[in-house]
Structure 1
Amino acid sequence: MTARPLSRSAIFAQAWPIILGQTTVPLVGLADTVVIGRTGDAAALAGVALGTTVINFLFWTFGFLRMGMTGMTAQAQGADDEDEVRAMLIRGLVLGLAIGSALFVLQWLLIPAAFALLAGGEAIDASAKGYVAARFWGAPASLAVFAINGWLLGLGRTRAALVLQIVMNLINVVLDILFVWKLDMGAAGVGLGTALAEWSALVTGLVIAARVLGPGMARSIGERRKELFTRPALRRLFAVNANIMIRTVALLMMFAWFANAGARLGTVPLAANQVMMQFVSVSAFVLDGFAFTAESRIGGAIGRGSRDDYLRAIRLTGEFTLAAGLLFAGLFFTCGDAVIDMVTNNEAVRDQASALLPLTALVPLIGAPAWLFDGIFIGATRGASLRNAALVSTCAYILTDLALRPAGAQGVWIALLAGYGYRALALGCYLPALTRSIAQADRGA
């Protein structure tokens, strides 16, 4: 399970499967948008946008099942503790299935509460609620897949993670087309297709995990089952993940605020924001390939107590991240209008989206440092730093959005750009202390 030595070719070899797999995630979001958008129903398109915001908030509140798992697994691998590597997978799976099941049971309470806070309107809310209710059927599988994906990324098994992602996303696209275009299920069909794809991904992930661990996995886990959920192990798990959970909730609040800001402006601006968020998703998920690689490499360096590996991992992943940010900014400026025309045939939505394109094109450039810093601090399992930076940047973003409300839709996007900048700045302030701590560990090794 040893990772390849640090070099540009090794970083790219580890990152490209993540990039390819991550690319399919926003492409599925884009496919969802196209499937609904080509019907010409702006309310249904806006409903998917609002429903996606609700699901992202509820499910990604527990995103520590992916992020915390990656950092802690990478550190266990760096310390050559294979027993702990196995134990991390089981803990993550049990926790993901349990939390997902609780979400499914509590949906009767969560769905009304979520929509009471959002300014969608009757027609939009009807579509959004159908989407959200369907997505809840996949909640246990979705959160368990978070854990499997984080575990694979922590081990540097990016090709296995790619297979998992592709299986889920291909099934998702096929089912979306079937349910919406053939069965005319609207936004609810998009949600049901995603839920069924998540259960397919869980089965696939379990098969992949069994192959990674080998035939002795069940026996090894059975022999150590009493150690899987000991108090010290659970205390560390929850200490790291509680802070990451707060961080995730703060960032989800930022994007929920962004979605609600669009909804407040009306159906067409909200639908246009949904179209433009596909650009943001594509760039974010691709650049996350290098951030996830940083998580694995930083975690492994800390597990070994190697300051040199830590610094080199930051430099090499940083080079790739900034280059990719520049590339995407250029592509969006030059090709954005053609993509907008492909996504929707509603002229009002097209015009609104095109007006927002210059601001949207800046997101991958301004967001790149924030995404990279996330990877560094997640790999280092510095939950408190992630938590504090997210809280500060989200509060600053909200204040900025309130100040820019007279600017309408343009102000909504300028505030979002500022939010990425605030996050990078806040995390950057913690980087020197993190680096000093790695230096001390290296001297003590």
Structure 2
Amino acid sequence: MFKLDELGSEIAQISIPAALALAADPVASLVDTAFIGRIGAVELAAVGVSIAVFNQLSKVAIYPLLSVTTSFVAEESASCKVSQNEKSNQEEEEEDLENKAGDGEVRQTREVERAFVSSGKSKEDGKVADTKMTKNKKAKMKYIPSVSSSMIVGLFLGILQTILLIFSAKYILNLMGVKSNSPMMAPAYKYLRLRAIGAPAILLSLAIQGVFRGFKDTKTPLYATVTGDLVNIILDAVFILGLRWGVSGAAISHVISQYLISLLLLLKLAKMVQFVPSSIHDLEFSRFLKCGFLLLARVIAVTFCVTLSASLAARHGPIPMAAFQICLQLWLSTSLLADGLAVAGQTILATAFAKGENDISVAASSRVLQLSTVLGLGLTLILGVFMEFGMAVFTKDPEVIKLVKISIPFVAGTQIINSMAFVFDGINFGASDYIYSAYSMETVAIVSVTCLFLLDHTLGFIGIWSALVIYITLRALAGIWRMGAACGPWSFLRHFDR
């Protein structure tokens, strides 16, 4: 599993930058929170509610957009390369035949030159025109429909989110418990409306990140994200501490950084592919939207399980809720590392399936699953020690710490299952198995929600975590069963001989 052969190097080159890029935003958010905390407790609480609203709305669109774009671009890019190779081989054969017949390439160039001379133009004009035609052909060959489709969908969803938040900010904040007479309403309302302006940039940049992932390039999104986050931190210091703009300064700095990330990615992408379609018919929205809606249903199912567990924990009082929040953040934050492997698996498998390379599909799946097991084991040890001795970082309340320590077997002990579940998601998306991914997750959600209500009623805090363990275990088993039963895109495994 640690062998740095061609496949191992490819997994490392994709997964490590992807994991770092995923970790960059949470780190920047922590710094952002520290700056806002210097304004006051009310402002910090208000911004916290606004960020929760913004992230929840964004998450519904981000996950399907990013996953579908990555798979489709990888497939179409691989198919494009195959067709280009076939065309190149054909052209070489034709060129050889023409050369044997009397240097056909020179004859073709001379015909172009003579045509331009006869029309009153020079031979040099003919050569330039011939060169331009060749360049135009190459440019057309680099057009990938999913690139344009994902960018248009991302931009549209971003504009839609901006309109929704600007005109419904007060209503949404009321639903979140921030009433009109609350001191949090004014700063929360101001921050949310300003932050909404950056929604088109966020969703457009994530669509482009999906494109780069499809090209197996996770370094470019990493560089762009880190640059944008650094600018965000610098502007926070200028706007909040220097100019005293308060929560408005925090929102404006974030918006500027997101548009900068989009611009950097867009400029880089413009050098690689032609993303402006020659005709609207070149766009393939139907397949893109169909798979996107399937993943949307899946995201809603996942979000509902986690949100319901938090709601049930809150009913037990502030101490159980505080302990649950700490444990949940630790439980979910480790998924960032597993997501790096999931991105690598998704990209490599999407390319392999498009080329019909079943041996690569099997090898890549095995390798990322092995690595996820090792990753999960390492996270179990790290989290187990940290939760036992390091809780003073989050709280000094002995009752909260006591509940956190009780949760160690559930949070730290399930890291191998967590890692496998997230990596299996990437594998299924790489195989474009979206229908199964959606329906299996909805089934898992129904069972998990039932367990949440039953176990919460009988076991309380421990029952909630027991139900979450059932949820993540069923999620991993759904991936194992699909591949193990050789169903759907994995049916070739029935006759596969390494």
TM-score normalized by the length of structure 1: 0.82
Equivalent in the alignment of 1:156? 216
1:366 corresponds to which residue?
417
Change (3 A) 1:153 1:19: same
Higher mean Cα deviation, 412-421 or 322-331? Answer: 412-421
Aligned CA distance change for structure 1 residues 248 and 296 (closer, same or farther; 3 Å) = same
- Map of 1:396 onto structure 2: 447
The 3 A distance-change label for structure 1 pair 234 and 183 is same
* 2:467 corresponding residue in structure 1: 415
What's 1:304 paired with? 355
Task: Tell me which residue corresponds to 1:71.
Answer: 71
- State how 1:419-438 maps to structure 2 within 5 Å: 419-431=471-483, 432-438=486-492
Are 1:106 and 2:157 counterparts?
Answer: no
Which letter does structure 1 place at the counterpart of 2:487?
A
> Which residue does 1:60 correspond to in 2?
59
Residue pair 1:96, 1:143 contacting (<8 A) in 2 also: yes
| SS of equivalent to 1:362 | coil
Q: Does the CA-based 8 Å contact 2:343-2:426 persist in structure 1?
A: yes
What is the alpha-carbon distance in structure 2 between the residues aligned to residue 235 and residue 267 of structure 1? 47
Deviations 1:117-157 (A, max 9, x none): 65688969747666544432211111111101111111100
For residues 350 and 312 of structure 2, what CA distance do their matches in structure 1 show? 37
- Among 313, 330, 340, the alignment partner of 1:279 is 330
Alignment of 1:39-438 (within 5 A): 41=41, 50-63=49-62, 64-80=64-80, 83=141, 86-108=144-166, 111=169, 114=172, 118=176, 126=185, 132-175=192-235, 192-211=252-271, 213=272, 217=273, 220-221=274-275, 224-226=277-279, 229-230=282-283, 233-266=284-317, 270=321, 272-336=323-387, 340-343=391-394, 356-406=407-457, 407-431=459-483, 432-438=486-492
Kindly indicate whether structure 1 or structure 2 has the higher relative contact order, using CA contacts under 8 Å at least 6 residues apart. Answer: 1
Taking a change above 3 Å as real, the CA distance of residues 387 and 40 of structure 1, as seen in their structure-2 partners, is same
Residues 392-414 of structure 1: per-residue CA shift (max 9 Å, x gap): 22222222222233444444333
Q: Identity of aligned pairs, percent?
A: 22
Amino acid at match of 1:418: I
Question: Cα–Cα, structure 1 residues 21 and 116, in superposed 2: closer, same or farther, change >3 Å?
Answer: same
Alignment partners' CA distance in 2, 1:119 and 1:415: 27
Q: Give the total of aligned pairs.
A: 430
CA distance in 2, matches of 1:294, 1:92: 21
Q: Give the letter aligned to residue 199 of structure 2.
A: A
> 2:235 & 2:11 partners in 1: Cα distance?
35
State the one-letter code of the partner of 1:380: A
The change in CA–CA distance for 1:369 and 1:39 in structure 2 (over 3 A counts) is farther
Report the Cα distance in structure 2 between the residues aligned to 1:44 and 1:272, rounded to whole angstroms: 24
Matches of 2:239 and 2:460, distance apart in 1:
35
Q: Deviations over 1:88-138 (max 9, x none)?
A: 222212221111111111225654565566568896974766654443221
Q: Could you say if the C-alpha distance between residues 188 and 255 of structure 1 is closer, same or farther in structure 2, counting changes exceeding 3 Å?
A: farther
Indicate how the Cα distance of structure 1 residues 333 and 439 shifts in structure 2: closer, same or farther if over 3 A, else same: closer
Q: How far is the alpha carbon of 1:327 from its aligned partner?
A: 1.0
Query: Is the alpha carbon distance of 1:181 and 1:84 closer, same or farther for their aligned partners in structure 2, counting shifts above 3 Å?
Result: same
* SS at 2:432 equivalent: coil
Unaligned stretches of 5+ residues in structure 1: none
The offset of 1:210, in angstroms, is: 2.4
Q: Is the 8 A contact 2:154 2:200 kept in 1?
A: yes
CA deviation profile, 1:204-225 (whole Å, cap 9, x unmatched)? 21122124x0xxx5xx555x42
For residue 61 of structure 2, give the secondary structure of its aligned residue in structure 1.
Answer: coil
2:89 equivalent in structure 1: none
Amino acid at match of 2:479: L
Q: Secondary structure at the match of 1:378?
A: helix
Whole-Å separation in 1 of the counterparts to 2:27 and 2:9:
26
Output the TM-score relative to the length of structure 2. 0.74
Cα distance change on mapping 1:132 and 1:13 into 2, 3 Å: same
1:29-44 pair list within 5 angstroms:
29-32=29-32, 41=41
Contact 1:120 1:263 in 2 (8 A): no
